[in-house]
Amino acid sequence: MNRSSEANARPEMTSGGNGNDKGREADFVRLVRLSKAYQEGERRRVVLDGVSADFARGEFVALLGRSGSGKSTLLNLISGIDRPDAGQVWVAGRELTALGERERTLFRRRHIGFIFQFFNLIPTLTVIENVTLPLELEGARVNQAREDARPLLEAVGLLDRAGSWPDRLSGGEQQRVAIARALVHDPQLVLADEPTGNLDEESGRSVLALLDRLTRQAGKNLLMVTHSAESAALADRVYELHAGKLMAGSPENSVGAERRRGQGDEP
Ligand SMILES: Nc1ncnc2c1ncn2[C@@H]1O[C@H](COP(=O)(O)OP(=O)(O)O)[C@@H](O)[C@H]1O
Ligand SMILES: [Mg+2]
The bridge status of strand 221-225 relative to strand 237-242 is unpaired
pLDDT at 52: 96
Give the model's confidence band at 263: pLDDT under 50 very low, under 70 low, under 90 confident, else very high: low
pLDDT at 188 exceeding the cut of 80 = yes
**What's the CA gap between 238 and 232, in Å, rounded?**
6
Dist. CA 42 → ligand 1 center (Å): 16
Residue 260 has pLDDT above 90, yes or no: no
Look up the pTM and report it: 0.85
> According to the model, what pLDDT value does residue 1 have?
41
47 lines ligand 1 (CB under 6 A): yes
The tally of CA atoms less than 13 A away on the side-chain side of residue 202 is 2
Nearest ligand 1 atom, CA 66: 22
Q: Does ligand 1 come within 6 angstroms of the Cβ of 84?
A: no
Answer whether residue 230 shows pLDDT above 90.
no
Evaluate: CB of 20 within 6 angstroms of ligand 1: no
Where do the domains of the chain lie? 59-80+100-265
Residue percentage of the chain with pLDDT more than 70: 84
Superfamily in which the 59-80+100-265 domain is placed by CATH:
P-loop containing nucleotide triphosphate hydrolases (3.40.50.300)
Say yes or no: CB of residue 70 within 6 Å of ligand 1: yes
Instruction: Please give the pLDDT value at position 9.
Output: 39
Q: What are the beta bridge partners of residue 225? A: 63, 193
Split at pLDDT 50, 70, 90, the class of 229 is confident
| pLDDT for position 120 | 95
226 neighbors 52 (Cβ within 8 angstroms):
no
